[in-house]
Amino acid sequence: MADTEAVVLVGGKGTRLRPLTISAPKPMLPTAGLPFLTHLLSRIRAAGIRRVVLGTSFKAEVFEEHFGDGSDLDLDISYVVETEPLGTGGGIRNVLPELTASTVMVFNGDVLGGTDLREILALHRAKHADLTMHLVRVSDPRAFGCVTTDDDGRVQEFLEKTQDPPTDQINAGCYVFRRELIEQIPEGQPVSVERETFPQLLGEGRRVYGFVDSAYWRDMGTPEDFVRGSSDLVRGIAPSPALDGLAGEALVHEGAGVGAGAVLVGGTVVGRGAEIGAGARLDGAVVFDGARIEAGAAVERSIVGFGARIGHRALVRDGVIGDGAVIGARCELLRGARVWPGVEIPDGGIRYSTDM
C-alpha cells in the first residue's frame, strides 16, 4: 500500500499511568513481553503499510534506540521530535515534511485493537472521504470523544468528553486523513485534533465518515486498562500479529523463576529474570523484568515495576508499584494504590485490615 503512510503519535506524558511513565514512555511499557507499540506497529505492517513516522516528544530518544529504522518489523520508520509537545493535531502537522503519500493513517500510540485496518481504508476510499475515523461502541462514553453518524455513516457531530453523550459511539484514536487536510492544520503551535480540527472540518462541511466495528478495542491509558489489555493479550482475547497464537493463563519469560505451589492465573505476565516465591498467587498481574514476589504474597490486577519487590505474604490488589519499590512483608495495598519508584514500605507498614 505505497499510497498510504502511517503516523503514530507517541509524544504524550502518560500521566494517568504514573509512576510507570516516569522512567518509560507509555507506548514502550512491556505488554505480554513486548513494548506496547510493537503490537500496534505489527498491525500496521499486517495491513500492508510499510512507512511509519513516529511523532515523539516526551522521552523521544527511547523509541529510536529500540526500533531503529524499523527493519526488524519489516517497516521503514522515521522520527520527528517535538521539543515542546504540540498536542495531537500539532503533532500530526509537525510530521508532514516526512510524508509523501496522499493518504495518511494516524494512530494514537496507546490503543490495543483487533480491527483489520484495511477495512477502514477501504471505507475511506469507497466514500471518497476527506477523513475517516475509526469508531467503537462503549458502555460508558463519557470519558471519550462521542461521534454521531447518519445512516450512511457520515459524521454529524463530534463531542469531546461530554457528560450527556447522545451516542455510545466513540473516537477510537485512529483516523485516515486526506493529506491536504493535514496541510491546513496550523504549523508550530499546539493544536488538538479532538477539540479543534475535527469540529472545524465538520463545520466546513467536509466529507467525514465513521467506520464502526465490534472488534477488540482498548485504550491502555489507565492502570486498570493496562492490566486488562495485558491480560487479554496473554489469554488470546486481544489479537496481536506480534504474538504467535498466545492463549493461556500466564506467560513466564526466560530467566524467570517460579517457586513450588505458586499459582499464576488471569493472564499474568512474569518478566525476564523475575522471581516468584513458593505459594505466591498472581491473578492478572503484570510483573516487569527483575521484580520479585516473595513466598505467600498475592498480586491481583496490578503492575509491579522493574526490579520492585513484594514481601512475604503481602497483598497488592488494583495497585501500581513503581520501579525498585519495596513493599514489606504482610503489607496490604488495595484499590488504586500507587507506590513511587524506590519507595520502601516496612514490614506490616500499611494495612487495610487488623486481623494479624
**Positions that interact with ligand GTP (CB under 6 A):** 9-16, 26-27, 55, 57, 82, 85-88, 91, 108-110, 221
Complete DSSP assignment for 189-253: S---IIIIIHHHHHHTT--EEEEE--S-EEE--SHHHHHHHHHHHHTTSS--TTSSS--SSEEE-
- DSSP-derived 3-state class of residue 52: strand
- How many whole angstroms separate alpha carbon 195 and alpha carbon 287? 37
Where helices occur in 47-82 by DSSP H, the ranges are: 60-67
- Residue 7 C-beta: closest distance to ligand GTP, Å: 9
- Residue 217 C-beta: closest distance to ligand GTP, Å: 14
Nearer to ligand GTP, 167 or 192 (CB): 192
Contacts of 73 (CB under 8 A, 6+ apart): 38, 41, 42, 45, 67
- Residue 112 C-beta: closest distance to ligand GTP, Å: 12
Where helices occur in 135-187 by DSSP H, the ranges are: 179-183
- Residue 94 C-beta: closest distance to ligand GTP, Å: 7
- Residue 174 C-beta: closest distance to ligand GTP, Å: 11
Nearer to ligand GTP, 223 or 311 (CB): 223
Backbone φ, ψ for residue 286 (5° rounding): -115, 105
Bond before 19 cis per omega within 30 degrees: yes
Task: For residue 241, give the nearest of 42, 34, 51 by alpha carbon.
Answer: 42
Nearer to ligand GTP, 91 or 319 (CB): 91
Nearer to ligand GTP, 161 or 312 (CB): 161
Backbone φ, ψ for residue 323 (5° rounding): -55, 135
Nearer to ligand GTP, 36 or 209 (CB): 36
- Residue 267 C-beta: closest distance to ligand GTP, Å: 23
Nearer to ligand GTP, 104 or 274 (CB): 104
- Residue 64 C-beta: closest distance to ligand GTP, Å: 14
User: Which residue is nearest to ligand GTP, using beta carbons?
Assistant: 12
β strands within 138-198, DSSP E? 145-149, 155-160, 169-178
Nearer to ligand GTP, 110 or 323 (CB): 110
- The cell numbers describing 35, all together, are 513494548
